[in-house]
Amino acid sequence: MKIAVLGATGQTGQHLVSQALQQGHIVTAVVRNPAKLTVQHDNLKVVEANIFSADSLKVHFKGQDVIMSCLGFPTSFFSAVTGYTLSMNAMINAMREARVNRVITMTSWYTEPNSGTQSPYLIRFLLLPMIRSVLNNMYEMEAFLQKTEDISWTVVRPPGLKNLPASAQEFLTHEGYFVPDSSGQPAGGVVGRGDVARFMLSLLNSNAWVKQAVAIITK
Ligand SMILES: NC(=O)c1ccc[n+]([C@@H]2O[C@H](COP(=O)([O-])OP(=O)(O)OC[C@H]3O[C@@H](n4cnc5c(N)ncnc54)[C@H](OP(=O)(O)O)[C@@H]3O)[C@@H](O)[C@H]2O)c1
């Protein structure tokens, strides 16, 4: 398949690009700083574009089968985070103009403001308040996609990310804001970035989770 990857220079994005190339896909990495992408491959094209401009993106989206995003924006205590909604708005408009119908993006567990009430103490009272501005904008982006009827979107929600390559572990999935264990409590708290990339790419081979948001973790 022909895949355009946004956030390709990021920690998860680089796993996604490498695995996609290993699987035989043709990848266009849409980046702001080409020098940051260390992967080199005959089937990899690196282009510079403005992720907040549909006009800038659409030329690179033409002819793609799918757009995948591992974009991330820093948390802020003083102002709202807007990168997720602004970039997704530009991506969707560019997709319409370029006639690309499939987008797979990542957010996080606990994007819904009240969904962390069963999470462990440190996550609930320390981590989630620290990153709430990021989670809020992810939640707004998810709501925007839920209203986007003409595009086949999927949101992948991982818990905390670790810098680990892809494993062969089975995934647990749940259509919700976290993956519950048998007692309804969050089933663990971390996943390897390589496994998130592996899960996102596995969606290319099936119609699973189209127009849905799926929380994931490895077993
Ligand atoms: N950390 C966690 O435990 C955790 C848990 C769940 C979900 N997440 C979310 O998962 C996603 C991926 O995380 P990660 O750690 O792999 O991300 P990351 O390493 O921080 O990478 C973020 C990517 O977004 C790109 N980006 C940011 N602003 C941009 C802009 N204005 N124009 C173009 N590109 C821009 C960065 O480009 P540059 O390389 O040029 O900076 C980079 O490629 C993020 O949304 C993160 O919030 C994180």
Query: Is the pTM for the entire model greater than 0.95?
Result: yes
Ligand 1: which of 5, 6, 9, 111 to mutate, judged by most atoms within 8 Å of the beta carbon?
A: 9
CA–CA distance, 85 with 199 (Å, rounded to integer) = 23
Mutation pick for ligand 1 pocket among 6, 39, 71 (CB with most ligand atoms within 8 Å): 71
Nearest atom in ligand 1 to 7's CA:
43
pLDDT at position 205 is 85
Cα(183) to ligand 1 centroid in Å equals 32
C-alpha distances in angstroms, 106 versus 98, 121, 155, 189? Answer: 22, 25, 5, 16
Domain count, the chain: 1
Domain that holds residue 171: 2-218
Q: Is 92 helix (H, G, I), strand (E, B) or coil?
A: helix
Are 151 and 103 contacting, i.e. CB atoms less than 8 angstroms apart?
Answer: yes
CATH number at residue 164: 3.40.50.720
Question: What's phi and psi for 157, nearest 5 deg?
Answer: -110, 105
Q: How far away, in angstroms, is 184 Cα from ligand 1 center?
A: 30
Per residue of the chain (219 residues), what is the pLDDT tens digit?
999 999 999 999 999 999 999 999 999 999 999 999 989 999 999 999 999 999 999 999 999 999 999 999 999 888 999 999 999 999 999 999 999 999 999 999 999 999 999 999 999 999 999 999 999 999 999 999 999 999 999 999 999 999 999 999 999 999 999 999 999 999 988 999 999 999 999 999 889 999 999 999 999
178: closest CA among 186, 170, 167?
A: 186
CA of 33 to the centre of ligand 1 (A): 13
Can you spell out the DSSP letters for 38-53? ----TTEEEEE--TT-
